[in-house]
Structure formats: C-alpha cells, structure tokens
Amino acid sequence: MTLVERRHMDGTAGRLSEATAADYVALLKPRVMSLVVFTAFVGMVLAPAQPNPFLAFIAILAIAVGAGASGALNMWYDADIDAKMARTAGRPVPTGRVTPGEALAFGLVLAGFSVAILGLMANWVAASLLAFTIFFYAVIYTMWLKRTTPQNIVIGGAAGALPPVIGWAAVTGTVTLESLVLFLIIFLWTPPHFWALALFKTGDYERAGIPMMPNVRGEAHTKRQMLAYSVLVAVSGVLPAIIGFASLAYGAAAAALGAGMIWHSWRVLWMDEADRSKRPAKALFAYSVIYLFAIFAALLVDGVVARFGA
C-alpha cells in the first residue's frame, strides 16, 4: 500500500464529512449577518436615490454574503481560541465537523463572489468598500488586533460599522457625510457593547489569551471607558437630526435611547467588582442590542415617512 493510500485509509481522514448544511450556515455567523443586513438596508433607504428594487435586493444579498464570508474566515483562523471559550467551543471548526481548510475555502469563495456580484450589479465603489470590510475584519481584526491589543474591538469595530456605508454607496456610488454618521454610530456603540460582554465573560477571554480591556487594564478602567463611549454614542445617535437628514422626532427618540445607554453604563460603573452575577453588565449588553436596533429602526421609519409620507 502506498503512503498516500495509507494516509487516506487511516483514522477519519478518508471518511465522509459529517458537516451538514446547518454547519456551513453557522460559519456565516447568521446573527451578526442579520444586523449587517438591517443596517445596510437602512443605509440604502436613507440614501437620496431610487434604486431598482431587485438590484437593491441583490446588493443586500451580496453584502450579507460578504459579511458571512468574513465570519467563515474568522472561524477558520480563530479555531484554536474558539475551542477554549464556552461561548464558541461548539462552533463547526473547533468541534471538527468542518475542517479549517473547508472553512477557509468557503470564506474565500464567498468573499470573491459577493464582491464581484456587488460590483457588477451595483457599482465598484460599494464593491471596493465590501472587499475592504472583509479584509479589515479577517486580516486586520482577526489575524492581528484581536490577539495583540485591548483596543482590538475598538479599531476592529470599523468593519461592523461599514455596512450602512456600503448600502448607501450601493445606490448612490458615493460616500457622504450622512453615511459616515451612520458609520460613527455603530463604531462608537461597539466598545460598550463588547466590553459589557467581556465583563461577564472575562474568564473565557483570559483562558483563550485574548487581551480584552477588562483582563488587561482592569474592570475600573474598562467601566470608565464604557461610560465615555456611551456618552459619545448617545451624541452621535442624535447627529442625523442635527445634520438634517432625519427629523426632530427622530432626534427626540435618539436622545431618549441614548440616555438609556448612559444610564446603563452608569450602573455598570458603580457595579461591585465582587458581584459575580454582573447583572448591570448583562443589562447593558442586552440594552445595547436593543439600542442599535431601535436607532436604525427609527432612522428607517423616519426615512420612509420623509420619502413617502405627506
């Protein structure tokens, strides 16, 4: 028997994969993808253009697949640390259902197709932004920042903040101040959101050796930073009304939602370090998800009313 034959016959190497379609869907990080789709859609609706609805649908699909490709590339590279954290140990690569090579190929193919389709069906400004987002998330954040600096999610947050800019660019072909304001809201929202998670999952990150802010600079420093970012995100949330591409009613709603962000961060600031339940941090994490969804939903409603209303 040749060496090649023996290698294929030994152990599980020659066996068929047990990965189901659901495992490949899991590689796309569907929950992150849903937020990407929603924010990109809002960017598209707010943009001053009337796209063909089917081409707009294809653009959203391409952005979603591009985001999914980033997720697959992230899971390929991070399989070693994912295996050490309870939250991620069940992912397809660390459990062995999908091999790292399969995840890499899946991510690369989807990345190539999503960028090409967005370029051909929308425009190359949006496609370039999507390619940059995938590169930034997979290479700059995953391969570099995540394991080297506690500012990982602050800088890496730019990747998650770009979808509304891509959506806007897909229908206008440009990047404008308005779309950058949408970017700013998500960019400033990311630190308090992820640090709230890090505060009650700090053991997980420590075990995996990821330098998150609470386990590098301590809880007190992290909590102060979270409050500062919450104030900034609350202000940035109102900017669409100040700049004039959203109504005063939106501004009032954004101010109220922002006040909620600050209040929850204030409660986290005064959270006892000995409190193992970390309830205020969990409450901020849950509220931050609601906040971002509500801000973009309010912008969507505001944009639709402005366009089709009386």
Question: How much of the chain is in helix, strand and coil states, percent to nearest 5?
Answer: 75, 0, 25
Q: Which is nearer to other proteins, 72 or 181 (CB)?
A: 72
Task: Determine if 3 is a binding residue for other proteins (CB under 8 A).
Answer: no
Shortest distance in whole angstroms from residue 28 CB to other proteins: 12
By three-state DSSP, how is residue 10 classified?
coil
What is the distance between the alpha carbons of residues 60 and 69, in angstroms, rounded to a whole number?
A: 14
CB 289 within 8 A of CB 193: yes
The residue written with tokens 């900017």 in the block is 239
Retrieve residue 190's tokens.
């990311």
* DSSP H or E segment with residue 287: helix 279-308
Shortest distance in whole angstroms from residue 18 CB to other proteins: 5
Task: Determine if 16 is a binding residue for other proteins (CB under 8 A).
Answer: yes
Other beta carbons within 10 Å of 9: 10
Task: Determine if 105 is a binding residue for other proteins (CB under 8 A).
Answer: no
What is the distance between the alpha carbons of residues 16 and 6, in angstroms, rounded to a whole number?
A: 16
Shortest distance in whole angstroms from residue 54 CB to other proteins: 5
Shortest distance in whole angstroms from residue 297 CB to other proteins: 27
Q: Which is nearer to other proteins, 101 or 244 (CB)?
A: 101
Task: Determine if 5 is a binding residue for other proteins (CB under 8 A).
Answer: yes
What residues numbered 35-64 form the site for other proteins, per CB under 8 A? 52, 54-55, 58, 61
Task: Determine if 20 is a binding residue for other proteins (CB under 8 A).
Answer: yes
Retrieve residue 55's tokens.
């081409």
Q: Which residues contact 269 (CB under 8 A, 6 or more apart)?
A: 223, 224, 226, 227
Q: Which is nearer to other proteins, 53 or 244 (CB)?
A: 53
Scanning 12-20, 35-43, 82-90, 201-209 for contacts with other proteins by CB under 8 A, the matching segment is 12-20
Shortest distance in whole angstroms from residue 39 CB to other proteins: 22
Q: Which is nearer to other proteins, 1 or 177 (CB)?
A: 1
Task: Determine if 276 is a binding residue for other proteins (CB under 8 A).
Answer: no
What is the distance between the alpha carbons of residues 81 and 256, in angstroms, rounded to a whole number?
A: 39
Residue 144 is given by DSSP the state I
Residues binding other proteins: number (CB under 8 A): 22
CA trace torsion 170, 172, 175, 180 (10° rounding): -80
What is the distance between the alpha carbons of residues 284 and 157, in angstroms, rounded to a whole number?
A: 18
Task: Determine if 117 is a binding residue for other proteins (CB under 8 A).
Answer: yes
Q: Which is nearer to other proteins, 56 or 199 (CB)?
A: 56
Shortest distance in whole angstroms from residue 30 CB to other proteins: 14
**Interaction site with other proteins (CB under 8 A):** 1, 5, 9, 14-22, 24, 52, 54-55, 58, 61, 113, 117, 120-121
